[in-house]
Amino acid sequence: MHPSHARALLGLAMVEMKRRHFRQARSWIEAVLDRDPAHAAASAALQRLQTEEEVLLVVGRSRSLRSSGDLEQARRKVQRAMTTFGEHPDLLVEGALVSAGLEARAQAFEMLRRALFLEPDNQAALNLLAVFHLESPCPGATDFEQAERWLRKALDLRSDNTVTLGNLGRLELARNRPAEAAAWYRQVLAVAPDSPRALEGLGEAAFRQGRLDQARQWLEKAWWADDKDRPRLLTALARVCTASGDTAAARQHLRSALELAPDDVRVMTSLAYVALLENELDEAERRLDAARQKRPDDERVLHLLGRVAQARGDYAAARRHYAETLSFHPASVRSLLGLAWTAYEDRNLSEALHWFDQVIQLDPGNQHALTGTGVVKARMGEYDEAQECYRASLQASLHPPALWHWFRVATLEGNVQQLSWFLDAAASTGGAAELGAEVSAWKERVARSTRVHKEGGDVRAFLAEIARSLPLRYRATVPEPFPA
């Protein structure tokens, strides 16, 4: 065989090996060895291929152990393989996943950096580094920017990688930009039309835009496409039902999920939340106690215990639960907001402002904190500042609680003109136009508010009527404890 022909075949083998297409790689190598059994480069390539195949087997076994929850055994398997094969990029990526599961984030980061040093275009490592930045205990602009850099690099290497495209959608959701997220998820569907994660992502994006019927449709499609993690999808469907006020359907979805996964803390916590919404505080506390026995430091469980105490009017107990949550999770925005609203209900407005400010320092632009600050300012009689807070909260998206509180303050003042102008501007922009029905409904309420004032009607009775007619999401003061 001519040397150039052999080099070309071995080059094709290396390409297929990099793509993890080992059978095709072996056929190219064997084509060279059939002509020249003593070909040194081909023999070395075959030995490397055998190593790659053995590493793949180890990674597969480790994944099985991870999925069954045996992280320690998975860690030992990866360590033994690294002793045999050295710091192979695939072993380092798998080791990072195991370390992350064992809460050893620093070690996981170091393994991924080593994997990229050995193989700079390793897409799995690039995607995992981005995900780790998104899952940072204290997400901020720097983390989002770093995650985007990793993902853009992965996208440059392969523009149709569905994992990368899906993670870019996840990044935009983390930034609270649902329209942009939906665009990435649609690109995933263009490559893999039945991708459950993309369908679920489109459901989440629709949910954040207030399009609950569409969110339900996407999630139902994801449920039919995915038979591996149906409890999570049922929980997501329950969340949509809860937001639309159908707590009975939410309970039904969650009970079905609990039948599939009796020990799933996410489902148990979500059932407790639905019970809390229906003011069934004893049931909520019972479910939370059961969940806490399985996961004593779970952020959602501890936070909801504070919410239950707050609902009972036991503000001292609520503060203790929120403080305990923060001792385990110092960046728990939910619990900082819980402390703020507890202080507000306890008529300590300066303390409430302090906690809302803590949230804004941790997460600038947090819509719940800006809306809460506006509520406190309105209680203090500072209506202009309150309306500015609501306007700031609505900059990223039409945040339902901010719309309601702005409307309430504007109606009490008898000046809904600024809100009317804002709604006109929102209706003319692309992102908000997707909420056309929502904007139209608020325009109608603004018109009714104007008529009530002109006719000398009972303003507070009018506001009480509007409040009763609004879906639950307009009264949400804290991000939902449903799992993401």
DSSP 372: H
pLDDT at 274: 92
pLDDT at 254: 93
**Separation between Cα atoms, residue 75 and residue 73, nearest integer Å:** 5
pLDDT at 288: 94
pLDDT at 342: 94
pLDDT at 349: 94
Asked if pLDDT for residue 5 goes beyond 50, the answer is yes
Determine what percent of the chain is predicted with pLDDT higher than 70: 93
pLDDT at 204: 92
- Out of 1.20.59.10, 2.60.40.1180, 1.25.40.10, 3.40.1010.10, the CATH code matching 121-210 is 1.25.40.10
For 219-227, which contacts have Cβ atoms below 8 Å and span 24 or more sequence positions? 222/196, 222/197, 225/194, 225/195, 225/196, 225/199, 226/196, 226/200
229-296 domain in CATH 3.40.630.20? no
pLDDT at 398: 72
Average pLDDT over residues 256-280: 91
**Separation between Cα atoms, residue 21 and residue 38, nearest integer Å:** 24
Average pLDDT over residues 128-151: 74
Do 229-296 and 3-101 fall under one CATH topology? yes
pLDDT at 484: 45
Contact in structure between 167 and 127 (CB atoms under 8 Å)? yes
Stronger pLDDT, 45 or 255, i.e. the higher one: 255
Asked if pLDDT for residue 285 goes beyond 80, the answer is yes
Q: Which of 68, 478, 482, 472 is nearest to 268 (CA)?
A: 482
Average pLDDT over residues 36-63: 84
Which secondary-structure segment (H or E) carries 74? helix 71-85
Give the mean pLDDT of the chain.
86
pLDDT band at 365 (very low <50, low <70, confident <90, very high): confident
The CATH architecture annotation of domain 3-101 reads Alpha Horseshoe (1.25)
pLDDT at 255: 94
| DSSP string over 300-314 | HHHHHHHHHHHHTT-
Total-model pTM: 0.73
**Separation between Cα atoms, residue 261 and residue 115, nearest integer Å:** 35
pLDDT at 427: 63
Asked if pLDDT for residue 119 goes beyond 80, the answer is yes
Please give the structure tokens belonging to residue 155.
């996208």
Asked if pLDDT for residue 137 goes beyond 50, the answer is no
Task: Read off the pLDDT of residues 407-446 as tens digits, 9 standing for 90 and up.
Answer: 888 888 888 888 888 887 766 654 444 456 777 888 888 8
Asked if pLDDT for residue 225 goes beyond 80, the answer is yes
Backbone conformation region of residue 103, classed left if phi is above 0, alpha if psi is from -120 to 50, else beta? left
Contact in structure between 210 and 400 (CB atoms under 8 Å)? yes
**Separation between Cα atoms, residue 434 and residue 233, nearest integer Å:** 24
Average pLDDT over residues 292-317: 92
pLDDT band at 366 (very low <50, low <70, confident <90, very high): confident
Any idea where the domains of the chain sit in the sequence? 3-101, 121-210, 229-296, 365-484
